[in-house]
């Protein structure tokens, strides 16, 4: 079974621009979550989607948004990029075994650099 | 609040050495405990998990036992290989919760294995 895929793998943007990152979960997984990983803050939860609905949202400004499509694929968008948004953005999907989504299967991430 | 504390890295070992990476947690009740591994340039992979006291999770030669009395979930491997070089994350989900938004990740321990 194919793993979680994320595109693009690397991205360089300028302050003030916006960016869209894409994630395809493992086939059959309906839960998709997004994380931001930085050396200083570690892994921080951004959002979780299930069946096209945002189920949970982390403590990030409104510039960060996301959505999930009917085929479970997900996108996240960051508008008005700031230098501090430079990070590895990880997408993860979950099989939702017994209603749990804390068993996460991660993609390789998108490395975003804001200049 | 709930938290996870991992030993500071980097940890450097020679091939075939015995590995222990310490992880202790603070939580009320019985959280679910996880170890994830992140190889260079990749996302996190779920390595093993345990959901109740005295459970032992194991995978790829790695083991960790859920010790309620010491609130620990130390990761061990009897003989490490160069290919085990990675960053290892301990994580927990608080009791009563099973959502990705509630996962608490440790800061990670970088492991480097010398040939």
Give the pLDDT of residue B54. Answer: 95
Give the whole-angstrom CA distance, residue A12 versus residue A97: 37
Run of H or E residues at A74: strand A74-78
Kindly report the CA angle at B68 between B87 and B23, in degrees rounded to 5?
Answer: 15
B57-87 pLDDT, tens digit per residue, is 999 999 999 999 999 999 999 999 999 999 9
Closest CB from B42, B45, B99 relative to A48: B99
pLDDT in tens, A6-63: 999 999 999 999 999 999 999 999 999 999 999 888 999 999 999 999 999 999 999 9
Percent of chain B with pLDDT over 70: 100
- Nearest chain A CA: its distance from B32 CA (Å): 9
The minimum CA-CA distance between B80 and chain A, rounded to whole Å, is 24
Tokens 């892994």, residue located? A43
Q: Does the beta-carbon distance from A109 to B42 stay under 8 Å?
A: yes
Q: Is the pLDDT of residue A2 over 90?
A: no
């Amino acid at each position: 079974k194919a793993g979680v895929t994320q595109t693009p793998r690397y991205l360089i943007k300028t302050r003030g621009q916006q960016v869209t990152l894409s994630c395809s979960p493992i086939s059959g997984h309906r839960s998709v979550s997004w994380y931001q990983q930085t050396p200083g803050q570690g892994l921080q939860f951004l959002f979780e989607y299930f069946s096209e609905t945002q189920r949970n949202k982390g403590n990030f400004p409104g510039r960060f948004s996301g959505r999930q499509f009917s085929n479970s694929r997900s996108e996240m968008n960051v508008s008005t990029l700031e230098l501090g948004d430079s990070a590895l953005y990880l997408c993860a999907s979950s099989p939702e075994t017994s209603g749990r989504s804390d068993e996460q299967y991660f993609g390789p991430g998108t490395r975003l650099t804001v200049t | 609040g709930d938290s996870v504390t991992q030993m500071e890295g980097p940890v450097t070992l020679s091939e075939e050495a015995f590995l222990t990476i310490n992880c202790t947690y603070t939580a009320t009740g019985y959280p679910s405990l996880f170890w994830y591994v992140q190889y260079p340039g990749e996302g996190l992979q779920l390595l093993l998990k345990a959901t109740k006291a005295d459970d032992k999770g194991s995978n790829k030669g790695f083991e960790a036992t859920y010790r309620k009395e010491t609130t620990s979930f130390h990761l061990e491997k009897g003989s490490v290989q160069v290919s085990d070089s990675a960053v290892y994350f301990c994580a927990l989900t608080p009791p009563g919760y099973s959502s990705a938004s509630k996962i608490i990740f440790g800061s990670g321990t970088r492991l480097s294995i010398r040939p």
